[in-house]
């Protein structure tokens, strides 16, 4: 591959010193779980997003499901979710015994269509769980008004959106809480699993702190039926080091995204991402390829040595995991169309301008071969 979709080894070799520094700090101290590295990272991650509290946990799915539990979502409740998302958003709702109520996205912005949300409320609706897909904030300002009038929590799946902004504010300033993932391929990745919830609410934060650690406010006392889902000290130390460089990485990602937007403008059958380049966290640069040409373009690019990704080829409601509920879902044609059309180009903090130009050139010449 001339330009692989993502090669973590490239990032790791560039960050070898940083990773070693972080690990040796923890080894010297000998405290491996819920120690000073976790506290330091939580403070830094909360400050970066202008949130009052950060509670780190074991992974993104746990961050989502414990966030739902912490705001009181229970068995029998309904949670409004986007129809096009990574299945973890849905699994989080299902895992606390609640029902997913899928709402279609805006086909251009890829995020929950606020105009369709109102119609999905019932007297069982307990929360709206918006997703900042590909790193771009959902219409949180509008959703916040809708949720306020229905007196339900607005929550965010921000797994792809570390550093994203919305109308000039940090993404975490909107809604009751936001869940993040530090899975290695995310913008801010650990060397394994990790996750966190940001919130301004003292109550949600203290509930999350109990939930993640056996419901334990102090040793041998179990206040609530908790879980074991904690970020470990080594991952926290690595994340603190990486977070210090993250703003620079964001600048680089935005530069790459702008180069793609300029270089790919005006091509037939290619719809470029919309929205503010400087607020998008650019986890993925995702285009829509019209007229059923996505897979053809993907093969042409692969033949030219360009790796691509599809996020996601099968929407959650079409997954076997939801076969028993399938008849309860409304028709979701936009999610199904997106699954056929979306294609993500290489995007990371280590791509060189030459590599970006190689990708642009490969897309342009591939599109030319189908001539219209």
Ligand X SMILES: *Cc1c(COP(=O)(O)O)cnc(C)c1O
Site residues, ligand X (CB under 6 A): 59-61, 85-86, 88-89, 131, 157, 159-160, 181, 183, 193, 195
Q: How far apart are CA 269 and CA 259, in angstroms?
A: 19
At closest approach, how far in Å is the CB of 186 from ligand X? 6
At closest approach, how far in Å is the CB of 316 from ligand X? 11
Q: Which residues contact 103 (CB under 8 A, 6 or more apart)?
A: 80, 81, 82, 83, 112, 113, 116, 117, 120
Identify which of residues 60 and 105 has a Cβ nearer to ligand X in the complex. Answer: 60
Identify which of residues 188 and 356 has a Cβ nearer to ligand X in the complex. Answer: 188
Identify which of residues 73 and 362 has a Cβ nearer to ligand X in the complex. Answer: 73
Identify which of residues 246 and 356 has a Cβ nearer to ligand X in the complex. Answer: 246
At closest approach, how far in Å is the CB of 58 from ligand X? 8
At closest approach, how far in Å is the CB of 167 from ligand X? 21
Identify which of residues 61 and 197 has a Cβ nearer to ligand X in the complex. Answer: 61
Identify which of residues 185 and 302 has a Cβ nearer to ligand X in the complex. Answer: 185
At closest approach, how far in Å is the CB of 155 from ligand X? 12
Closest-by-Cβ residue to ligand X is 60
At closest approach, how far in Å is the CB of 194 from ligand X? 7
Task: Compute and round to an integer the Cα radius of gyration of the chain.
Answer: 21
């Amino acid at each position: 591959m001339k330009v692989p979709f993502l090669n973590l080894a490239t990032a790791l070799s560039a960050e070898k010193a940083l990773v070693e520094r972080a690990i040796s700090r923890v080894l010297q101290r000998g405290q491996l779980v819920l120690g000073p590295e976790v506290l330091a990272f939580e403070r830094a991650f909360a400050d970066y997003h202008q949130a009052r509290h950060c509670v780190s946990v074991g992974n993104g799915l746990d961050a989502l499901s414990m966030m739902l539990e912490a705001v009181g979502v229970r068995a029998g409740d309904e949670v409004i979710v986007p129809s096009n998302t990574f299945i973890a958003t849905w699994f989080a709702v299902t895992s606390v015994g609640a029902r997913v109520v899928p709402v279609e996205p805006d086909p251009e912005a890829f995020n929950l269509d606020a105009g369709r949300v109102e119609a999905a409320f019932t007297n069982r609706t307990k929360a709206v769980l918006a997703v900042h897909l590909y790193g771009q904030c959902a219409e949180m300002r509008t959703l916040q008004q809708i949720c306020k009038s229905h007196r339900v929590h607005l929550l965010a799946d921000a797994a792809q959106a570390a550093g994203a902004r919305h109308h000039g504010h940090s993404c975490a300033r909107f809604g009751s809480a936001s869940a993040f993932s530090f899975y290695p391929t995310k913008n801010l990745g650990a060397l394994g699993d990790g996750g966190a919830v940001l919130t301004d609410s003292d109550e949600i934060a203290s509930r999350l702190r109990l939930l993640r650690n056996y419901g334990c406010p102090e040793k041998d006392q179990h206040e609530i039926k908790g879980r074991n889902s904690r970020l470990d000290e080594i991952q926290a130390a690595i994340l603190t080091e990486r977070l210090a460089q993250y703003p620079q990485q964001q600048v680089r990602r935005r530069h790459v995204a702008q180069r793609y937007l300029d270089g790919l403008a005006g091509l037939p059958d290619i719809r470029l991402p919309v929205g503010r380049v400087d607020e998008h966290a650019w986890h993925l640069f995702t285009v829509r390829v019209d007229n059923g040409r996505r897979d053809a373009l993907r093969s042409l690019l692969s033949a030219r040595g360009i790796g691509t990704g599809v996020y996601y080829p099968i929407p959650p409601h079409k997954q076997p995991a939801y076969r028993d509920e399938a008849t309860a879902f409304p028709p979701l044609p936009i999610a199904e169309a997106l699954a056929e059309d979306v294609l993500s180009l290489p995007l990371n903090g280590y791509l060189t301008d030459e590599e970006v130009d190689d990708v642009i050139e490969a897309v342009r010449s591939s599109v030319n071969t189908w001539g219209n």
